[in-house]
Each structure stands twice: as structure tokens, then as C-alpha cells.
């Protein structure tokens, strides 16, 4: 199953994704948090055995989203979500469904001017990482020499220093 991923090195905290999501749905289903001068997303991870689905007494919460007609507003799904990604608006649960009803894809991705948000398939990422590892082991791998990789290394080191200084 595909998942939304936010690159914290690119996100500037503009909240365009949150605002667009809120305008398309009743409430924003993505939350951007400023944590130690970096921005991270909280969004449904579409768990394989999702506790929000398991606990829902009316079976309103599904892999596809929340059936608002079945939702009784008990809030159990919000309490058991390990990521804090379920939202609760007007006594109705909300969770990201990757904008399944929109032909043009997730609204948050379209709204992100920095292109920090993307949809990833964990199985494809795993396969790509395995190929890269095997190429490296065979001596065929050449690391990406673009500026973005260099910036990422500097950013990671700077963050590590900040943590050590605290």
C-alpha cells in the first residue's frame, strides 16, 4: 500500500498542505509539526493490521477511510492510532485516504510548493534499496554526486551536533 512521505529537509512549514487538505475535506488529514527546527508530518500510515480499524465498534473505519454515516463519534480510533494521525472533527473521525475520490491525486501533494511531499510504495523502495546495495557490493555503485546529497549530509551532521549540544 502506498504511503505519503514528507521530506523534512525540503519542508519549510508553510502549511499549504494542511490548508489544502482542510479545504478539500472537512478537516486536514495531515499535520505538520515543527520539532527542533525541522518539520515532520503526521499522516495515516495505512497500517497492515490497523488498530483504528480493529477497535471501531461500528466498522466505520476501513482501509479506504471513514464511513461518516456509520461513525458514532466515540473517538476510540483516535486514541489507539500509534501515530496520532486520526483526526476528529465535529464528532466524526477522519483519516487520510490518499484522496481516493480525486482524479488528480492527493491535495497535499498538489499544494506543496517545495515538492517535499510524495507518495511512496514501501515494497518499491525496499526493492530499489536492495538493488543499490547489491550494486555496491559488486563494485558497480556510484553514489549520487548531486548537490542535494551533499546538502543532506551537511544537514544531518548539523542536526546531530544540535542533539549532542543539548
Stretch (H or E) spanning 21 = helix 16-24
In this structure, the number of other CB atoms found within 10 A of the CB of residue 82 comes to 10
Answer whether 0.75 is exceeded by the pTM: no
Contact call for residues 5 and 46 (beta carbons, < 8 A): no
Question: What does the alpha-carbon distance between residue 5 and residue 116 come to, in Å, rounded to a whole number?
Answer: 8
- Residue 113: DSSP 8-state: T
121 phi, psi to nearest 5 deg: -105, 110
pLDDT of the chain along its 166 residues, tens only? 788 888 888 999 999 999 999 999 888 999 999 999 889 999 999 998 999 999 999 999 998 889 999 999 999 999 999 999 998 888 899 999 999 888 888 999 999 999 999 988 888 988 988 988 888 888 766 666 555 544 545 555 566 666 566 5
End-to-end CA distance of the chain: 38
Q: Which domains does the chain have, with CATH numbers?
A: 3-121 (3.30.70), 122-166 (no CATH)
Amino acid at each position: 500500500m502506498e504511503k505519503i512521505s514528507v521530506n523534512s529537509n525540503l519542508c519549510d512549514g508553510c502549511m499549504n498542505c494542511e490548508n489544502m487538505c482542510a479545504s478539500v475535506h472537512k478537516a486536514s488529514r495531515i499535520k505538520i509539526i515543527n520539532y527542533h527546527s525541522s518539520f515532520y508530518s503526521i499522516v495515516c500510515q495505512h497500517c497492515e493490521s490497523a488498530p483504528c480499524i480493529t477497535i471501531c465498534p461500528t466498522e466505520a473505519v476501513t482501509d479506504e477511510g471513514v464511513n461518516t454515516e456509520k461513525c458514532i463519534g466515540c473517538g476510540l480510533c483516535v486514541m489507539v492510532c500509534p501515530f496520532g494521525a486520526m483526526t476528529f472533527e465535529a464528532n466524526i473521525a477522519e483519516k487520510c485516504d490518499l484522496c481516493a475520490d480525486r482524479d488528480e491525486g492527493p491535495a497535499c501533494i498538489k499544494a506543496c510548493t517545495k515538492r517535499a511531499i510524495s507518495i511512496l510504495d514501501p515494497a518499491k523502495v525496499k526493492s530499489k534499496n536492495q538493488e543499490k546495495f547489491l550494486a555496491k557490493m559488486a563494485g558497480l555503485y556510484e553514489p549520487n554526486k548531486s548537490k542535494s546529497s551533499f546538502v543532506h549530509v551537511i544537514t544531518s551532521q548539523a542536526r546531530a551536533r544540535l542533539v549532542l549540544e543539548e
